[in-house]
């Protein structure tokens, strides 16, 4: 069931549309030197509900990106089906550089790789523009859990196959992928519970309804760790995180897994390369604005810019990780 | 008591002119958003979060919170006056609230709703002051199996409450469950009944379905009548009389309790709280036939419950940093953007902030009550508009509301089909309430059932082994059993002394002489 969204959003979409029609004139698309054309608005599709973490992050960036790119940006929420609806709209949009959008990874990858989802887009439908936020996956337990390390967990799962419960935010979410990789590496079997997202997982961990929960590091995770309510067994990242002192990476504990939920920005396929580069550079500059950085840090955003080339490489790596897990995840 | 001292300090800060102003702005905005169908508090808060970047954190969050609880005051107005819920939590208010309006008791319906909302909201805030932490710990005992059991109880309370045929109610309930399965399934991510349409991947949108069934269906039905037969033009008193108070008092108390308990549980929705309250009132009533024909308890209980729910919803956020609903998640986003991270240390690290926001809720509820009672006279003037004009305006509102939900013309089709269906179902005397309830409950029930079974490796024993789940399921069983027995007894009595056939809620009300 979808939640109601705002008529204000409708208005916000309509106004630039009318403006665009009004300012018609001869089209200067694909001309990089005049991009963005004066008075033309860039649409930024957010494939999630207004007010979700992804949306707030986008709205935070908007004014700074507007300043750097030199025109108005409209954030348009096209939520539904775990981002499938919005990404599909992005892939179908005109590739003139006036529509860009968020393609969260691995959600986008899992959508087009899974034949059951019947997605009408593939990797080639999208042009990577920039990475905005990368939020590593971590395994969390309640403070009184007997597990203190990843090894404890694996040993317990070996002793009671299929009995240790692990909650994630949905099938083929980053947490699910971490868990499947761990099963693959060690041969253990968890009882995987597909939940509805971070808040639900947190409630399940704190209420002892699950043995382990997959959480991301943004939001109030650090606060909960600091208060001693939950403990992180491992973070599936390259290196240790200064906000989580003493928490080892998966690699350090002998399980070299790197998974995150990442907010990548893409454009429809065929958007001219120079325009893509121009947008990407503007995003990079906006992300370096000290005032923006202060607000982003306060909101718990883990900024991590990648240029189009680097994002493409990251995307390939993630896709390589996800592809073999599709059928495995369905087996449950 | 230390808590009272902290609350007192918070109250003093909340009463400072700037904070008072933003509480007022939030309440007024919330009220307006509640009136407009299709616009929910969650979206409104999201749009205002960037505005709060330029405010100090206290007034910013006071305003966002005001929007959240203010919405439930506004949602009632269109439910009562137009049979069109302005907010999903006010769906159930349509049943009796609208009938009250047609009988010329619109003022009283809105009056009791405002009073009940005030009591529910204030009582839940007091709960927040007194025992946030222990209450949250208790609420965390509710996991997927308990949640599923609660949904079963909700169904048991509501099925057959429309007073008419139990079979028809069951048919409608099952229809709602079926429609609720449209979209991507919650566990395995497989699309169901989407017929290849991307618009259906996320299921049918609740708001277009509901305003179609209720709002559009009602208009179609009224078009059959002569223009002036729809409403009695008098509006009646705003303040409840002694008889109203006698009937509503218990309903408000029970609604407060139901809303409060459900508000504590992360993941519940206020729609369920209002429905449960309605179900309880019908079950308790000695004369159930009054429901669906303008029973004031049917307005007082649910309207209290949804406000009590909303204010109790802050308890898990403030005590542990767990947002219970989308709107609260957004308020949490607003807090974090202002550098205040909700979590178990919030009361220690940001005591001034928390206590001021809590105190502002008491003030905000008072503002809303003061604002609403005189405004009722203004709102009800709408009923003086000739129906020929009024229905066109209502129709316009429903179209805007349905479109605004996701900026999608597909939802307009959904609303139109739902409207025709609503009209037909009403003509055939099928109750709409069970359909709407199962439409909300169905997906929640399914995802929690599947979560529970995933955790227990498919074993149903999880419902027996967990005492809370088992108890709730037993209560649900008892409720169903009792209604079967009661139905059999009633039939037995009816056979002895035949009574007039059951009337539907759409009885024509004669035009009054002004």
Residue B189 at interface with chain A, using a CB cutoff of 8 Å: yes
Cβ burial of A120 (10 Å; 0-12, 13-18, 19+) is middle
Q: How far apart (Å, rounded) are the C-alpha atoms in residues B465 and B457?
A: 14
B420 φ/ψ angles, rounded to the nearest 5 degrees: -65, -40
Does A315 sit behind a cis peptide bond, omega within 30 degrees of 0 on the bond before it?
no
Which ranges of A93-173 does DSSP label H, i.e. alpha helix? 107-113, 150-159
Cβ count near B151 (within 10 Å): 24
User: Cβ separation of A1 and B144 shorter than 8 Å?
Assistant: no
Give the β-pairing of A42-46 and A73-77.
parallel
Residues of B in contact with A56 (CB under 8 A): 46, 49, 330, 333, 337
Residue B451 at interface with chain A, using a CB cutoff of 8 Å: yes
Put simply, the chain A residues between 54 and 73 with a CB less than 8 A from any chain B CB are 55-56, 59-60, 62-63
Residue A115 at interface with chain B, using a CB cutoff of 8 Å: no
Instruction: Take residue B496 and report the two structure tokens written for it.
Output: 């002895």
A306 φ/ψ angles, rounded to the nearest 5 degrees: -130, 140
Q: How far apart (Å, rounded) are the C-alpha atoms in residues B157 and A28?
A: 63
Q: Give the per-residue pLDDT at A34.
A: 85
Q: Give the per-residue pLDDT at B333.
A: 81
DSSP string covering A231-294, please? EEEEE-SSS--TTSTTPPBTTTTT-----EEEEEEEEETT--HHHHHHHHHHHHHHHH-HHHHH
Crossing angle (nearest 10°) for helices B144-158 and B433-455: 160
Q: Give the per-residue pLDDT at B58.
A: 94
Longest Cα–Cα distance in chain A: 71
Q: How far apart (Å, rounded) are the C-alpha atoms in residues B404 and B116?
A: 29
Does residue B352 contact residue B13 with C-beta atoms inside 8 Å? yes
State pLDDT tens for residues B199-240: 788 888 888 898 899 889 988 988 887 655 667 666 667 788
State pLDDT tens for residues B237-254: 778 888 888 999 999 999
Per-residue pLDDT of chain B (514 residues; tens, 9 = 90+): 688 889 999 999 999 999 999 999 999 999 988 888 777 788 788 778 778 878 899 999 999 999 999 998 888 998 998 888 888 888 899 989 999 998 888 899 999 999 999 999 999 999 999 888 888 888 888 899 999 999 898 888 876 565 567 788 889 989 999 999 998 888 887 888 988 787 788 888 888 898 899 889 988 988 887 655 667 666 667 788 888 889 999 999 999 999 999 999 888 888 899 999 998 998 888 887 888 889 999 999 999 999 999 999 999 999 888 888 888 888 888 888 787 888 888 888 899 999 999 999 999 999 999 998 888 888 888 888 888 888 888 888 888 888 877 777 889 999 999 999 999 998 998 888 888 888 888 888 998 999 999 999 889 999 999 999 999 999 999 988 887 787 788 778 877 655 444 444 444 433 333 3
Residue A220 at interface with chain B, using a CB cutoff of 8 Å: yes
Residue A136 pairs in a beta bridge with A260
Element housing A128 (H / E): strand A126-142
User: Cβ separation of A4 and B43 shorter than 8 Å?
Assistant: yes
Q: How far apart (Å, rounded) are the C-alpha atoms in residues B151 and B472?
A: 9
Q: How far apart (Å, rounded) are the C-alpha atoms in residues B161 and B275?
A: 11
User: Residue A100 carries which DSSP code?
Assistant: E
Instruction: Take residue B383 and report the two structure tokens written for it.
Output: 């009923």
Residue A298 at interface with chain B, using a CB cutoff of 8 Å: yes
Of B183, B202, B345, the CB nearest to A223: B345
What residues contact B445, with CB distance under 8 A and at least 6 apart? B148, B151, B152, B155
Residues of B in contact with A231 (CB under 8 A): none
Q: Give the per-residue pLDDT at B229.
A: 62
Nearest to B77 by CA among B379, B445, B415, B293: B379
ipTM of the complex model: 0.82
Q: Assign A138 to helix, strand or coil.
A: strand
Of A51, A116, A120, the CB nearest to B42: A51
Cβ count near B221 (within 10 Å): 16
Q: How far apart (Å, rounded) are the C-alpha atoms in residues A141 and A211?
A: 6
Put simply, the chain B residues between 103 and 132 with a CB less than 8 A from any chain A CB are none
Q: Give the per-residue pLDDT at B504.
A: 41
Q: How far apart (Å, rounded) are the C-alpha atoms in residues A191 and A179?
A: 10
Nearest to B48 by CA among B327, B247, B465, B310: B327
- Give the minimum alpha-carbon distance from B367 to chain A in angstroms, rounded to a whole number: 25
Nearest to B115 by CA among B299, B383, B321: B299
Q: Which residue has the tokens 């083929």?
A: A172
User: Cβ separation of B205 and A170 shorter than 8 Å?
Assistant: no
Cβ count near A92 (within 10 Å): 14
Nearest to B399 by CA among B414, B386, B385: B414
Q: Give the per-residue pLDDT at B359.
A: 95
Q: Assign A33 to helix, strand or coil.
A: helix
Does residue B512 contact residue B233 with C-beta atoms inside 8 Å? yes
State pLDDT tens for residues A195-234: 877 788 888 999 999 999 999 888 788 888 989 999 999 9
Which ranges of B314-409 does DSSP label H, i.e. alpha helix? 314-320, 326-337, 346-349, 351-380, 387-406
Q: Assign A149 to helix, strand or coil.
A: coil
Task: Count Cα neighbours of B232 within 13 Å in the Cβ-side half-sphere.
Answer: 19
Q: Give the per-residue pLDDT at A19.
A: 41
Report the residue of chain B nearest A119, measured CA to CA: B198
User: Cβ separation of B329 and A13 shorter than 8 Å?
Assistant: no
Of B188, B336, B406, the CB nearest to A299: B336
Does residue B415 contact residue B208 with C-beta atoms inside 8 Å? yes
Dihedral angle over CA of A86, A92, A97, A98, nearest 10: -60
Cβ burial of A199 (10 Å; 0-12, 13-18, 19+) is buried
DSSP string covering B119-130, please? HHHHHHHHHHHH
Does residue A311 contact residue A128 with C-beta atoms inside 8 Å? yes
User: Cβ separation of A224 and B202 shorter than 8 Å?
Assistant: no
Q: Assign B410 to helix, strand or coil.
A: helix
Q: Give the per-residue pLDDT at A153.
A: 96
Residue A162: which region, alpha, beta or left (left: phi > 0; alpha: psi -120 to 50)? left
Q: Give the per-residue pLDDT at B503.
A: 41
Give the β-pairing of A73-77 and A260-268.
unpaired
Residue B335 at interface with chain A, using a CB cutoff of 8 Å: no
Q: How far apart (Å, rounded) are the C-alpha atoms in residues A225 and A237?
A: 18
With a cut of 70, list the residues of chain A below it in pLDDT: 1-31, 50-52, 332
Residues of A in contact with B182 (CB under 8 A): none
Residue B236: which region, alpha, beta or left (left: phi > 0; alpha: psi -120 to 50)? left
CA terminus-to-terminus distance, chain A? 24
């Amino acid at each position: 069931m979808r939640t109601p969204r705002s008529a204000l959003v409708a208005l916000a979409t309509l106004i630039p549309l009318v403006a665009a029609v009004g300012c018609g004139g001869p089209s200067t698309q694909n001309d990089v030197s005049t991009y963005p054309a004066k008075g033309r608005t860039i649409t930024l599709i957010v494939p999630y509900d207004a007010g979700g973490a992804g949306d707030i992050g986008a709205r935070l960036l908007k004014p700074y990106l507007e300043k750097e790119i030199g025109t108005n940006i409209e954030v348009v929420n096209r939520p539904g089906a775990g981002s499938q609806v919005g990404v599909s709209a992005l892939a179908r949009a005109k590739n003139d550089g006036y529509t860009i959008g968020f393609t969260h990874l691995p959600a986008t990858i899992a959508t087009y790789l899974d034949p059951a989802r019947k997605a009408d887009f593939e990797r080639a439908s999208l042009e990577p523009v920039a990475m905005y936020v990368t939020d590593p996956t971590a395994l969390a337990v309640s403070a009184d859990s007997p597990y203190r390390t990843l090894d404890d967990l694996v040993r317990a799962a070996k002793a009671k196959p299929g009995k240790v419960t692990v909650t994630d935010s949905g099938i083929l979410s980053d947490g699910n992928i971490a868990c499947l990789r761990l099963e693959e590496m060690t041969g253990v079997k968890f009882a995987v519970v597909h939940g509805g997202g971070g808040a639900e997982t947190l409630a399940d961990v704190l209420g002892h309804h699950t043995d382990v929960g997959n959480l991301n590091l943004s939001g109030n995770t650090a606060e909960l760790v600091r208060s001693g309510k939950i403990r992180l067994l491992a973070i599936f990242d390259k290196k240790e995180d200064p906000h989580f002192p003493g928490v080892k990476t998966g690699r350090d504990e002998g399980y070299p897994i790197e998974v995150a939920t990442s907010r990548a920005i893409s454009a429809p396929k065929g958007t001219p390369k120079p325009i893509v580069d121009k947008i990407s550079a503007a995003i990079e500059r906006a992300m370096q604005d000290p005032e923006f950085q202060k607000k982003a840090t306060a909101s718990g955003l883990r900024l991590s810019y990648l240029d189009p080339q680097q994002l493409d490489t990251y995307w390939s790596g993630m896709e390589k990780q996800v592809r073999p897990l599709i059928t495995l995840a369905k087996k449950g | 008591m230390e808590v009272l001292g902290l609350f007192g300090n918070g109250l003093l800060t909340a009463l400072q002119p700037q904070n008072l102003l933003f509480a007022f702005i939030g309440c007024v905005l919330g009220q307006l958003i509640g009136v407009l169908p299709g616009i929910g508090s969650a979206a409104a808060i999201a749009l205002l979060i960037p505005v709060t970047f330029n405010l100090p954190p206290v007034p910013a969050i006071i305003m966002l919170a005001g929007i959240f609880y203010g919405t439930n005051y506004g949602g009632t107005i269109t439910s009562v006056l137009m049979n069109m819920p302005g907010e999903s939590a006010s769906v159930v208010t349509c049943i009796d609230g609208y009938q009250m309006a047609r009988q010329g008791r619109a003022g009283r319906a809105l009056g009791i709703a405002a009073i009940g909302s005030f009591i529910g909201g204030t009582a839940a805030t007091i709960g927040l002051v007194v025992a946030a932490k222990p209450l949250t710990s208790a609420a965390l005992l509710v996991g997927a199996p308990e949640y599923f059991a609660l949904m079963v109880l909700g169904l048991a309370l509501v099925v057959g409450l429309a007073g008419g045929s139990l079979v028809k109610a069951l048919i409608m309930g099952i229809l709602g469950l079926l429609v609720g399965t449209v979209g991507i399934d919650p566990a395995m991510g497989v699309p169901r009944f989407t017929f290849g349409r991307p618009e259906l991947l996320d299921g049918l949108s609740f708001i277009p379905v509901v305003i179609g069934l209720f709002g559009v269906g009602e208009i179609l039905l009224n078009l059959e009548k002569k223009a002036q037969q729809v409403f009695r033009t008098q509006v009646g008193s705003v303040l409840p009389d002694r008889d109203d108070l006698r009937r509503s008092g218990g309903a408000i108390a029970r609604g407060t309790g139901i809303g409060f308990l459900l508000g504590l549980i992360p993941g519940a929705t206020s729609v369920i709280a209002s429905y449960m309250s309605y179900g309880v009132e019908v079950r308790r009533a000695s004369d159930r036939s009054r429901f669906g024909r303008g029973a004031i308890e049917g307005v007082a209980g649910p309207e209290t419950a949804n406000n009590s729910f909303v204010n109790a919803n802050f308890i898990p956020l403030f005590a542990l940093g767990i947002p219970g609903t989308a709107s609260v998640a957004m308020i949490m986003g607003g807090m974090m953007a202002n550098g205040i991270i909700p979590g178990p240390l919030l009361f220690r690290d940001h005591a001034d902030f928390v206590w001021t926001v809590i105190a502002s809720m008491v003030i905000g509820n008072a503002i809303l009550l003061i604002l609403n009672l005189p405004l009722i006279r203004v709102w009800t003037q709408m009923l003086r508009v000739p129906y020929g004009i009024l229905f066109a305006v209502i129709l316009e509102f429903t179209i805007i509301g349905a479109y605004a939900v996701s900026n999608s013309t597909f939802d307009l089709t959904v609303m139109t089909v739902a409207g025709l269906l609503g009209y037909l179902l009403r003509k055939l005397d099928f109750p709409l309430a069970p359909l709407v309830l199962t439409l909300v409950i169905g997906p929640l029930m399914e995802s929690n059932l599947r979560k529970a079974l995933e955790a227990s490796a498919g074993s149903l024993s999880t419902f027996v082994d967990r005492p809370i789940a088992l108890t709730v399921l037993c209560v649900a069983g008892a409720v169903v059993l009792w209604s079967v027995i009661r139905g059999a007894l009633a039939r037995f009595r009816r056979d002895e002394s035949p009574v007039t056939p059951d009337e539907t809620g759409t009885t024509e009300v004669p035009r009054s002489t002004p």
